[in-house]
Amino acid sequence: MPFSPTPLQQWVEESARLTQPDRIVWLRGGPQEYESLLAGMVQDGSLQALNPEYYPRCYLHRSAPNDVARTEEVTFICTPDREDAGPTNNWMAPQEAKEKLHPLYRGCMKGRTMYVIPYLMGPADSPFSQAGCEITDSAYVAASMHLMTKVGDLALRHIEASGTYVGGLHSLGDLDPERRYLMHFPDECLIWSFGSGYGGNALLGKKAHALRIASATAREQGWMAEHMLILGLDRPGRETIYMAGAFPSACGKTNLAMLNFPEFEEKGYRVRTVGDDIAWLRVGRDGRLRAVNPEAGFFGVAPGTNWETNDVAMATIQHDTLFTNVAVTPDGLPWWEGMDDTPPDDLRDWQGNPWSGENSAAHPNSRFTAPITNCPALSPRYDDPEFRVRFARLVTHYWRNAAFLGEDQLLRDAAILNGIPGVLIHGRYDVSSPLETAWRLSQRWATSRLHVLDDAGHGGGNTFLGLTVDALNRFAAR
């Protein structure tokens, strides 16, 4: 270990005594470490290198067939008071959760390597960034965290300076769905995940830290962590303005954040990507709402992504990308439904079998993981350490309407649960969905005298939900 923040060191040692790995590897960050992780997985067969001519430094990972999506039904917020879990989340008492998972963790890493991953969420020099440390027995998770966060010594220095971090203990376990849990302990800044290697369940810096734990921290400190995209709009001869929108998963956040609209660009307007999934919001001393994207990468849905629906995303994933559960052609090219009109011959499906043409070749929830710096439309302020990205007012100015819009966008029938797409799941709410966002916004600012100001300094509603492409015309005209 290069640095030794004592509480962190003690927690790692306690976790090692519980899980009993054969060896412990502290990640330091950097391209050589990342490449070493990839090489090890290629050697053991858990990763397949794709065609280096067309997809340089890109790889395919296949998850277990029963481990293909977030498992909201076994995701819990563990607080002493049930009401603190929020209106749409599952709740479990902290002691009950630990008693349930502690026996599962005991000895679960025997014969495996424990990777200790210090990571930073947010700009390197920003006082609003947060550090975390994920412990995992998955090399795939370790490599993916390299893409989605800032891994290594930078995070350790932040932990030493701040004295705080979010701890995440993750193990693949035996991938038995009956022994799969994702527990959040906001009062302890702690996450326990067991039994899944899929992104949202295993990459604990993403939903678990940046949304669920961060939401609790934000409530204590007077800011917000929300399921929102952030984009900038360049305007000819005028200042770039920034906006955000709340959408559930798989409802178009990435496409909108990367929008390439030729009719706009002909007039001198251009969309700049800041983030496609999560926003941390604060009100500045000047009364304007500020935001930052805490993530360093994209974890996007592959099916339906093509050069017409999102050419920026396609350009982003042409190199240095991890693909999960997509199909692959005989010459090593990734493929998924919606990439083009005609499936290539002799495809291997997402489980590695010859594709019969009867079911989906790529899993409906197949993903790409790519560093944000791959994005050709990336805003030059995406990593602004001064936290000066501004939100403009849009669409919704009244809380009753905001709650309605949020509820109207609930991700129910589009959710993919247990590998079955298109099934209506009554009462299933996306964690940190627009409804939850509307509720937190109303709790935080609806009755406040504070008004968020637009670029011209005019007062208005506190924020907005329900960003649409049509709204870009409103911004362009301002």
Maximum Cα interatomic distance, the chain, rounded to a whole number of Å: 63
Distances in Å between the Cα of 452 and the Cα atoms of 18, 229, 361, 423, 444 are 48, 18, 47, 39, 13
- Which amino acid belongs to residue 135? I
- Cβ atoms of residues 97 and 82 within 8 Å: no
- Cβ atoms of residues 165 and 79 within 8 Å: no
Of the candidates 58, 78, 251, 375, the residue annotated as catalytic is 251
The verdict on whether 133 is a catalytic residue reads no
Reduce the secondary structure of the chain to three states and give it as a string: CCCCCHHHHHHHHHHHHHHCCCEEEECCCCHHHHHHHHHHHHHHCCCEECCCCCCCCCEEECCCCCCCCCCHHHEEECCCCHHHHCCCCEECCHHHHHHHHHHHHCCCCCCCEEEEEEEEECCCCCCCCEEEEEEECCHHHHHHHHHHCEECHHHHHHHHHHCCCEEEEEECCCCCHHHCEEEEEHHHCEEEEECCCCHHHHCCHHHHHHHHHHHHHHHHHCCEEECEEEEEEEECCEEEEEEEEECCCCCCHHHHHCCCCHHHHHCCCEEEEEECCCEEEEECCCCCEEEECCCCEEEEECCCCCCCCCHHHHHHCCCCCEEECCEECCCCCEECCCCCCCCCCCCECCCCCECCCCCCCCCCCCEEEEEHHHCCCECCCCCCCCCCEECCCCCCCCHHHHHHHHHHCCCCCCCCECCECCCCCCCCCCCCCHHHHHHHHHHHHHCCCCCCECCCCCECCCCCCCCCCCHHHHHHCC
Residue entry with tokens 């050069």: 307
Residue entry with tokens 């090219």: 333
Residues annotated as catalytic are: 251
